[in-house]
Structure 1
Amino acid sequence: MIARVFYNAKAFPGVVLVILHDEEVISTIKSKNVTKLLGKDEKLLGYNIEVDHFESDQDGYQKMTYDLLRFVNGSLHDAFDEEIIHDFNPYIVVGRVLACDDHPDSDHLHVCQVDVGKEVVQIVCGAANVKANINVVACLPNAVLPDGKFITKGKLRGIKSDGMLASAYELGLIEEKKKGILILEDEAKVGEPFFK
């Protein structure tokens, strides 16, 4: 399971939001300082944790750490005798584009075969600078970008895509949006986590 934690001191002071699934909240259950968020058929979507103080140097998405997971699970245990297990496996990795073909139903999309170390995955990419024989940053399903965006499997114009190839902006490396994916040096080791 991938848990995403958000905190916005300006908009929602004193509330830590834990998202497990991006679906519409239908009902809630409150116990102590925790509100459980439920979706259709009472599917657990996440939690709101009320806090007196939450230490963070930024608003928005909070990168999951073992300390943050301990804080979340401590609150959940006290309120509901529950805990979550977060998957800390790296899903943002160095990939190598082995093949890059034009999408059959688009004038700007490309269908790429990308070696991510353990396997070769298919990723549809719209960047003009994508081509074969380059090293890139592959965001695989279950990856969480620095802004909290969750990456899933999907289809783009009917062609399956197992993730995305990321730009420097999407990776939080630059503040101004620039076109194109981030191309890594040839020495970058395929399959290695991008963020170490």
Structure 2
Amino acid sequence: MARNPERRTTLLDAAIDVLASEGARGLTFRAVDARAGVPAGTASNYFANRDDLLTQSGSRITARMVPAPESVDAAMRPAPSRELVRSLMVWLVQRIEAERTGYLAMLELRLEATRRPALRDRLTRAVREQLDENVRFHLEAGLPGDTDTVLVLYLAMTGVLLEHVTLPGVLPEAELDRIVETVVDRIVPEG
């Protein structure tokens, strides 16, 4: 296996682009090489097989979507409140909009995971760990609500994001912030 980390990242970013634009069926080593602008056969030097490419693409998507610690620190400066949760959820929507390709690629990976047990196991673990981290973060930050609050908020925001990114006309753009505020106000208790 080749060991150039920058080239591996370039190939993974190309794989994410292919997943988002062509779906999992379009994800081939040849398509990744073409998207990355590298010689044919390069991707096969970095990934043992297609399953390896899919799995590593999922890890790369997560790395691209997780905000930098200093951004989180800045977002968490206000006192814990429902209003802070509202602003965090609006920020989440903004981050997903900025990483739309990664979000669409992750949806493709989730669909592909229904047909690939090994990928399903890895994605399930990764998503569960992230959800557990979200619960831990919420509780340790002193934000209002409990574990169930975070779970219901996660499920509601997943639906908002799915509609917004895949079928943007369902939730009018001009009303998106208001919809996010309503979701938070209905789920997160005051105080």
Task: Compare the two structures and name the one with the higher helix fraction.
Answer: 2
Higher relative contact order (CA 8 A, sep 6+): 2
* TM-score, structure 1 as length reference: 0.28
* TM-score, structure 2 as length reference: 0.28
Task: Compare the two structures and name the one with the higher strand fraction.
Answer: 1
